[in-house]
Amino acid sequence: MNLPMEREGECHSCGECCQTVNMTVVRDVTLQQHGNLEELQRYLSYRGIRVVGSDEKRNQLYYSMDIPCSELTSDNLCRVHGSPEKPLICHRFPESKEDIEDIKNCGFSFAPVLPGYPNKK
């Protein structure tokens, strides 16, 4: 049984999620343009971009670039937190447990939503 998951916790200002730019692209079109995954990875690596995942069922590839957010301060605080300037994707992050599986000190976690039990919000 695959239960829906609910995000719990709060940001601990570790800054890890603000160190990279992550993108999702259409898998079949991208691989057609480059010939195969190995050629795509070579091409992107010359530009500092990594292919970090592939989902054939959803027809998606996931890229990551080591480019820190310009709004992250030296003490890992967001200059635009709580303002209308904060991007929507930042408000929503993390959306799944996979988003934070490599972030050891993230203050967020995910727990299954059990049918018949009220969620903790």
Per domain, the residue ranges of the chain are 1-18+70-121, 20-67
**φ and ψ of 62, to 5 deg:** -120, 130
Q: Dump pLDDT digits (tens) for 38-56.
A: 999 999 999 999 999 999 9
Give the pLDDT confidence score for residue 103 in this predicted structure: 86
What is the pLDDT confidence band of residue 118, given thresholds at 50, 70 and 90?
low
Give the pLDDT confidence score for residue 45 in this predicted structure: 97
pTM: 0.72
Give the pLDDT confidence score for residue 114 in this predicted structure: 81
Output the average pLDDT for the chain.
90
Beta strand 49-55 with 108-112 is unpaired
Q: In the chain, count H helices and then E strands.
A: 3, 5
Give the pLDDT confidence score for residue 71 in this predicted structure: 95
